[in-house]
Amino acid sequence: MLGQARRVARVLVEDPDLGSAVSSEIRDTAERDCVAALVDVGRGPWEAERYTVGPHGIGLYVLQGLLIRRVGHEGRFGAELLGDGDLLRPWQQDGDPALPFYTAWEVLEPARLAVLDLAFAECLGRYPEVMAVLFERSLARSRTLAVNMAIVHYPRVDVRVHMLLWHLAQRWGRVRADGVMLTKRLTHSVLADLVAARRPSVTSALSRLADQGLVESVDRRWRLIGDPPAELTSIVRQARLGG
């Protein structure tokens, strides 16, 4: 339910890449037209299923923030990290509702979500280029999930963690003279869910990677040293070919 949303956002102004394919002659008009209601969500557990944009809306678009979606059973979870530029439909049920899987959302960094409802979808009818970019973002999310699934199949937890950090750095990394710094603060618990391992195992894995000079903790962020693992390069290439 989004009836409490009051503020609005000019979506193409806040995310210029989303409107980058719109011709320069009409871009100003598109930026004025593509306005959506705005929802702010603070840190902590998020009852995402309460939110809906109606039967014909597009979804919730992350303008800013970091969220994690956990899916699991009996204390074992797989997880997906989501942030700026991702499109969410948290009220939409996945798979067979009879299967006893638990889904939970948590906001790791305060989020600003644009409500892409039916009115916004109708507006996009005038700007199909923007809709095409939204489809590209959805495809990119599916490829990211495919890479994550491949990573968790590696038996050694330290290899999984190393690959995951470099994979996340492709989106949230900043190149520096001393390596690549992840701009997001990711706890051991979050990393454990992302690589489908226990938190103590991830803590031990990070210690091993640090001893090898591959990873360093800096102000609760992760600095990656050296080159990405060759295994990750191969996985990403295959995911792109299969997408």
CATH number of the domain enclosing 18: 2.60.120
Q: Give the domain extent around 44.
A: 8-127
Measured CA to CA in angstroms, residue 177 lies from 146, 169, 174, 210, 233 at distances of 31, 15, 10, 18, 22
Instruction: Record the tokens describing residue 52, joined without a space.
Output: 């809906």
Write out the H or E segment, with its range, that includes residue 181: strand 179-182
Mean pLDDT calculated for residue range 179-184: 96
Q: Which residue type occupies 119? A: A
29 shares a domain with 122: yes
**Helix 199-211 to helix 157-172 angle, to the nearest 10 degrees?**
80
Q: For residues 116 and 161, state if they share a domain.
A: no
The answer as to whether 123 is a domain residue is yes
- Asked if 111 and 189 sit in the same domain, the reply is no
Is the pLDDT assigned to residue 1 strictly greater than 50? Answer: no
Query: What digits encode the pLDDT tens for the residues 60-102?
Result: 999 999 999 998 766 667 899 999 999 999 887 665 555 567 7
Domain-terminating residue out of 82, 111, 127: 127
Say if 3 falls within a structural domain. Answer: no
Q: What is the pLDDT of residue 122?
A: 93
Q: What is the helix (H) or strand (E) element at residue 146, kind and residue range?
A: helix 128-151
Instruction: Round to whole Å and give the CA distance between 162 and 197.
Output: 13
101-118 burial: b if 16+ Cβ within 10 Å, else e: eeebbbbbeebbbbbbbe
Q: What pLDDT does residue 238 have?
A: 67
Choose among 69, 106, 234, 66: nearest CA to 166. 234
Structure tokens at 151: 């990573």
Q: Is residue 202 part of a domain?
A: yes
For 127-165, write each residue's pLDDT tens digit: 999 999 999 999 889 888 888 988 998 999 999 999 999
pLDDT for the residue numbered 4: 47
Alpha helices of 26-71 — where are they, by DSSP H? 27-33
| Predicted local confidence at residue 52, as pLDDT | 79
Distance CA 96, CA 216 (A): 42
- What is the 8-class DSSP label of residue 93? P
Cα–Cα distance list, 172 to 12, 50, 57 (Å):
21, 29, 29
In a domain, 65, yes or no: yes
**119 and 15 in one domain?**
yes
- 76 and 159 assigned to the same domain: no
| From 71-75, 116-120, 150-154, 221-225, the region with the lowest mean pLDDT | 71-75
Work out the pLDDT band at 54, boundaries 50, 70, 90.
confident
Which of 127, 162, 189 corresponds to the end of one domain? 127
Q: What does pTM read for this prediction?
A: 0.88
Whether residues 82 and 185 fall in one domain: no
Query: Using one digit for the tens of pLDDT, what is the confidence trace for 3-27?
Result: 444 689 999 999 999 999 999 999 9
* Domain annotation covers residue 56: yes
**Where residue 199 sits, what CATH number does that domain have?**
1.10.10.10
Instruction: Tell me, rounded to whole angstroms, the distance of Cα 199 from its chain centroid.
Output: 21
- Total domains in the chain come to 2
Q: Are 37 and 7 in contact (CB under 8 A)?
A: yes
